[in-house]
Structure 1
């Protein structure tokens, strides 16, 4: 496989929204409500876990880890997820530690997707899915969540639904996998049990592997329950579940992720991992293991301060404050059921503010955010980046804010 062929496969993806807007934010210094990371510290027990790992007298904590993952961490993951998935996870063969969930996605797609394979991607989707599939030689097949009629007072992420007839029509003999993001970034949709069951049914009937991006699994609101696809009947053996310590413990810079799944799907992922990354940071894995053991104990005792539970409870008021503030500002929010983000329709604000967009070929959501950064000193992320070329019109009137920030961020405009 030549470099030219790889370059051809990802042609058109050279422009990266995260690189572009990070640079613009650094130049203009707005309140950064675009990029998806908290601006607050992780809990004390997580920081202390890193101190414990860094000062451990065992020399092995500071050397290469086991390729598939530090034993203490994979053991903790097996203990945490076995009862949730309804499968006795083998720590030695059914878990792989990766360089963040991003690394888990790359490893999974490179391990499973061959040239000519088709991969169904539900839109909107995290923007790396499509390039990763293309690099592997696969073909992304896009199916959008479609907005249903809202009869209530509040527009919610659950109002975006999947058309299962449309899903079925996209399945061919070449369909290898589905990338399933639950809760969804950027909408914040948390799929119901019935929705997960319908998706699982189609995948079983058509022998489709499910790649589950579940990095926001613990961050759900209004008593919404996250359903792990691998927990459904007969789904563990066709599912790879991807998780993130960064999102679970509010330490996105630690870059520890994982893949959980059956041996026959894990084997090609392990081969890719051992020949690309080989192993991940041992002290970081040790620290995550210590933190996870602490919260696992609290989870079993049903303690309210278990971070797996308390983070969402802490974030829900921030979500509500963000929604209230954005409404007052003139935006029309989509209330998320999970995750870090809230979408808003910005078109009325643009009209009322008499915003004149430049004449570039960029989508209007890009141009509006650049205007907002320069003139209002607040940043966001354009939603068209989460859609394929054929469906960008579905996201062109929306922008994405991150509310995983301190309360004062949303009062910034009022303070000024």
Structure 2
């Protein structure tokens, strides 16, 4: 007996290997994007309340618990400036993962092309290939001197002439993550308008992965593609309760958009997952109802969390700069990309297996220095992995004590001595 041809064409997620690596060597974990501290009290209380509701322990509506889709409808109708039908224009999924998979399986035909902006979260290509689609890649370009100074994620740019050349009559969709994982880039209105114009020109769908929509720094604003003129018919937007309330284990996500695009996803969902966990959906709804009434107010968890995370971001940036690692300062999200080329490490003597460029450095850092990160090369397509070979990704959504532990390790790294010759 053997695996299917589909499985043979794919590889195991690097998150499995790095998770086991960190556990084995008891490393300080700045790898995966989840906090090492409790979620907000009102979110925990929402789950307790939901568990005490007898009806929450039985099946709910297949496409989404009524209370949850209703508050999402109310919230996004306000945020994007148009009504969102709770029953026909929202689908609740098992995390953002299932939202993405439902999009690809529900809308892609064999041979359809899907543009992916690199660096990207690694689940996109295998899911697209499962549906018979063809990934087409275009990269955000960092400044040429990013290994010599601290840069901003806003300096990572798309070449829009190159992007336009990727679109054709076979382009079914483009996948854009804003804020971007791993760079933290928050796309500006002008950048989104340029992408949207190409989508309308070619009749392509803009798949917007916006799971970090509330994690924005430096007084910037998150612009939703669905709110832009003429883009509602072309846009599907993915969200996540895990990223929204720091409860990644809840695994509740959603996708919203026009009925004609949501209905195929509902069919895929009903024939695979059937329905999501009722008590978690009920708790998610309760938490969202509370937070919706706090939007823009001082007691808003989203507002306070962004302030606290910005302080954590700035803390780890200081450690990185002191150690000689040159970071990209993120405008949003939980992550920092940092160029490690200034670090003196025994690259020629290190024997750890390298599955991807940068993999050897990350393993050395974990095994020898007890700091777990993720090579940025895994956020690129196999043909473009050299573009991420000199960088690693740090998650700073951790207790300050965890960041200080990582900082002490970073401060012990040796910087290469620059020759005067």
Q: What interval of TM-score do these two structures reach, taking the shorter chain for normalisation?
A: over 0.9
Distance in 2, matches of 1:154 and 1:370, equals 24
TM-superposed CA distance for 1:210, in Å, is 1.0
Q: Give the secondary-structure state (helix, strand or coil) at the position aligned to 2:249.
A: helix
Are 2:118 and 1:123 aligned?
A: yes
Distance in 2, matches of 1:414 and 1:359, equals 24
Q: Deviations over 1:276-328 (max 9, x none)?
A: 101001110110111100011111xx321212222111100000001001111
Of stretches 142-151 and 23-32 in structure 1, the one that deviates more from structure 2 is: 142-151
Distance in 1, matches of 2:219 and 2:267, equals 40
8 Å Cα contact 1:70-1:285 kept in structure 2:
yes
TM-superposed CA distance for 1:7, in Å, is 3.4
Q: Deviations over 1:237-263 (max 9, x none)?
A: 111110000000000000000010111
**Match in the other structure for 1:402:** 395
Q: Deviations over 1:172-198 (max 9, x none)?
A: 221101111111000100001110111
Within 5 A, what are the aligned runs for 1:3-402? 4-7=4-7, 11=9, 13-56=10-53, 59-148=54-143, 154-299=150-295, 302-351=296-345, 356-358=349-351, 360-402=353-395
Distance in 2, matches of 1:409 and 1:127, equals 26
TM-superposed CA distance for 1:364, in Å, is 4.1
Distance in 1, matches of 2:301 and 2:76, equals 15
8 Å Cα contact 1:124-1:144 kept in structure 2:
yes
| Corresponding pairs, count | 407
8 Å Cα contact 2:320-2:327 kept in structure 1:
yes
8 Å Cα contact 1:350-1:368 kept in structure 2:
no
Unaligned runs of 5+ in 2: 410-421
TM-superposed CA distance for 1:218, in Å, is 0.5
Distance in 2, matches of 1:170 and 1:354, equals 37
Q: Deviations over 1:348-383 (max 9, x none)?
A: 1144x7773327453341111111111111100011
Distance in 1, matches of 2:166 and 2:98, equals 28
TM-superposed CA distance for 1:148, in Å, is 3.3
8 Å Cα contact 2:324-2:343 kept in structure 1:
yes
TM-score with structure 2 setting the length: 0.93
Distance in 1, matches of 2:152 and 2:292, equals 32
Q: Give the secondary-structure state (helix, strand or coil) at the position aligned to 1:147.
A: coil
8 Å Cα contact 2:28-2:406 kept in structure 1:
no
- Aligned-residue RMSD, C-alpha: 1.8
TM-score with structure 1 setting the length: 0.94
TM-superposed CA distance for 1:415, in Å, is 5.9
TM-superposed CA distance for 1:274, in Å, is 0.2
8 Å Cα contact 2:320-2:407 kept in structure 1:
no
Q: Give the secondary-structure state (helix, strand or coil) at the position aligned to 1:161.
A: coil
Distance in 1, matches of 2:407 and 2:320, equals 12
Q: Give the secondary-structure state (helix, strand or coil) at the position aligned to 1:212.
A: strand
8 Å Cα contact 1:149-1:159 kept in structure 2:
no
Q: Give the secondary-structure state (helix, strand or coil) at the position aligned to 2:358.
A: helix
8 Å Cα contact 1:332-1:345 kept in structure 2:
yes
Q: Give the secondary-structure state (helix, strand or coil) at the position aligned to 1:142.
A: strand
**Match in the other structure for 2:418:** none
